Amino acid sequence: MSLFGVMRTGVSGMSAQSNKLSTVSDNIANVNTTGYKRASTEFSSLILKSGSGNYDSGAVETTVRYAISDAGNLQFTTSTTDLAVQGNGFFVVQDPQGNNFLTRAGSFVPDSTGNLVNAAGFQLMGYNIQNGAAPVVAANGFGNLQVINVNQMGLQASPSTKATVAANLDPSAAIVATPAAAAGPGNYTSKTSMVTYDNIGNAVTLDVYAAKTAANTWDIEVYNGATALTTGPSAATTFTFDVTAVGKGALATTSPTSLAFNIPGGSAFTMDMSAMTQVASAFDFKATVDGNAPSAVEKVNIDKNGVVTAVLENGTQLPSYQIALATVPSPDHLTPEVGNVYSTNLDSGTVQVDVAGKNGLGTIQSGALEDSNVDLADELTSMIESQRSFTANSKAFQTGADLLDVVVNLKR
């Protein structure tokens, strides 16, 4: 056995323990870092071929591994833009140069321009779902993703296009003459109003008149209240009801089920009247109308599917983005990058992108952050073990050096 081999093996052992101490110190330093994943140093032996009578000492090499797939505990906060992934998946983020990365660090806040960024300055990415659009997902890449900006979610005018009506017409009401179409309804049984929005967000109040013209027969007309009823009806339809035991006051099968017209200055508009009834009760009219006037964002809500909804100051709620989640076949082989983010490589496999709750991805918890998965007690124990091992390897090196001194001094 070579004395130089003893010394080299001792140096190899000290170097390996130094690597382990480095990962331990990193883990301890990041014990409170949101979304941090513990690093560990694994050892493997390097054996040199030896003859039958001699043993050639080898060495030890280290491999650093990351427990990326091990989730940390959730810590709840009061901010709706603090996000955590419950289950598989990573947030997709982007650096200022436009490069995409994966992360579990979800401490996002709006920056000066309204972009949601985390503590390391990475921007949160998602799909635009404004005006009811479905997310266009590129399954194996980051295509169609946008930076989520909360400022752009406000001051958006959305024209009204439909209303869902739940109404009841009083069957005991007296029959009236048919309203005069040119000058407005001179005779009507019941009246109500609803607010709609034109193409630039102006409120347009529409008056709805119901006139009982015969038994189980009603004319319903819609007028533009802003014109003082001088332009005539913008919509007029006759509805009939089935009062037999089978019908139970619902619309007859031959009756229309909707009203269609154009909102002044706005879009084509449809009132769904299919749920309207004529039962023994007073007149009642409730309408759920889409569209909104422009307004500033008061707050942002995020649901478990990652849908980012802007709550405007006027009370309107606008779903605007859906947060993207991504995963890879082997998360523990992702490459750690500066800023607590990860990039893909050949060992991790190709990135797969979708939205929360689909294709094996987890859900999103708003108002929570994922803690580091570092166990401080384990790290302190590993630090002591590594310290003792480093000392033992230094003793082996020292012993080899002392024996080498003996060999050098044999001639004296």
CA 324 to chain centre: 6
Q: Quick check: is 56 in a domain?
A: yes
Q: Residue 125: which pLDDT band, with cuts at 50, 70 and 90?
A: very high
Q: Quick check: is 202 in a domain?
A: yes
Domain holding 30, by residue range, is 3-67+374-410
Q: By three-state DSSP, how is residue 201 classified?
A: coil
Q: Quick check: is 294 in a domain?
A: no
Q: Quick check: is 156 in a domain?
A: no
What mean pLDDT is predicted for residues 85-109? 94
- In this structure, the answer to whether residues 275 and 169 fall within a common structural domain is yes
- In this structure, the answer to whether residues 187 and 123 fall within a common structural domain is no
Burial class of residue 43, CB neighbours in 10 A (0-12, 13-18, 19+): middle
In the prediction, which pLDDT does 245 show? 67
What mean pLDDT is predicted for residues 255-280? 89
Helix (H) or strand (E) holding 16: helix 3-29
Plot region of 192 (φ>0 → left; ψ -120 to 50 → alpha; else → beta): beta
Helix (H) or strand (E) holding 213: strand 203-214
Angle at 110 (CA atoms; ends 109, 113), nearest 5 degrees: 160
* Residue the block writes with tokens 């607010």: 195
In angstroms, what is the C-alpha Rg of the chain?
Answer: 36
- In this structure, the answer to whether residues 58 and 94 fall within a common structural domain is no
- In this structure, the answer to whether residues 200 and 219 fall within a common structural domain is yes
Q: Are 219 and 238 a contacting pair, CB within 8 Å?
A: yes
Percent residues over pLDDT 70 in the chain:
91
First to last CA, the chain: 24
What is the value of pTM for the model shown? 0.68
Q: Quick check: is 194 in a domain?
A: yes
d(CA 389, CA 42): 14
- In this structure, the answer to whether residues 206 and 267 fall within a common structural domain is yes
Rounded to whole angstroms, what are the CA distances from 309 to 115, 224, 268, 312? 15, 31, 25, 9
Q: Quick check: is 144 in a domain?
A: no
- In this structure, the answer to whether residues 168 and 285 fall within a common structural domain is yes
In the prediction, which pLDDT does 412 show? 62
| Tokens found for residue 323 | 């947060």
pLDDT at 43 over 50: yes
pLDDT at 177 over 80: no
d(CA 90, CA 344): 12
In the prediction, which pLDDT does 401 show? 79
Q: By three-state DSSP, how is residue 322 classified?
A: strand
Q: Are 232 and 264 a contacting pair, CB within 8 Å?
A: no
- In this structure, the answer to whether residues 101 and 118 fall within a common structural domain is yes
Q: How many domains does the chain have?
A: 3
